[in-house]
Homo-oligomer: A and B are copies of this chain.
Amino acid sequence: MTSQETAEPVHVLVWAEHVEDQSNPAVREIYPATLHETIAEALRRILGPDVAATTATFHDPHQGLDADRLNATDVLIWWSHLIDDRIDDEAAERVRHRVLDGMGLIVLHSGSLSKAFRGLMGTRCTFMWREGNDRELLWTVAPTHPIARGVPHPVVIPVHEMYGEFFDVPEPDSLVFVSSFTGGEIMRSGMCWSRGLGRVFYFSPGHEEHPIYHQAEIQRILANAVLWCAPQPHAFATDAWPARETGWFENR
């Protein structure tokens, strides 16, 4: 965005299932303000007037995913774990189509198994995992990528659940981070794709039993990702294709 343009904040919706940070005392202690508010607050602090961050959860009307709310959202941040199967198919499809129409999507941790992400990827999105006491090191392999800006090399997550390969997703357009774990496993932990007119970033850190989203480096990555996948003003619009005498038609 150039400085001459009127700065519009990026409208971010942080959506989380909000189950374990209610029902599990250990998780509630880590996220007393809830997981989604913790993330939203970090974005507000880092990005200031460049962001307008709101939150929603599975327990809201329409599972927090009604069309009006999604249509007003530039970037959706998604954290889910236990309730993936209970998300309405229509809600998942609304999310997927909003991405195809230009909304950014940041999928966190176990959210890879959500219907919307699986629908965008076309694959099973499964992986190896182990709850334990691994240390995760997150290395930058795409140093010119905007999501890696200001991120230490490596980011050290003192204790985390292991997520490992083979992670069944399509080859990413950009591979930004790769993680190692004490057990020796590796994970492509930060990956970018485009789908239609929208951008998608998957980021694997975020087990609810560890204070991942309180960590400054992780918050920096999320803020970078919001800016990276925000829809661009005056972006490509499929309905702007010019009519011409030879005639063309779009079959959608």
Contacts and interface: CB of A to CB of B under 8 A. Distances in A.
Interface residues of A, number: 86
A165 B238 CA distance: 10
Contacts of A19: none
Interface string A130-163: 1010010101111110101111111000000010
A166 B249 CA distance: 11
Given A143-B236, A153-B166, A171-B194, 13 more contacts: A1-B1, A2-B46, A2-B47, A4-B49, A122-B195, A129-B251, A130-B249, A141-B165, A143-B166, A144-B194, A144-B235, A149-B233, A152-B242
A183 B142 CA distance: 21
B100 A124 contact: yes
Per assembly, the copies of the chain total 4
Interface stretch (A54-62, A65-73, A173-181): A173-181
A227 interface: yes
A193 interface: yes
A41 interface: no
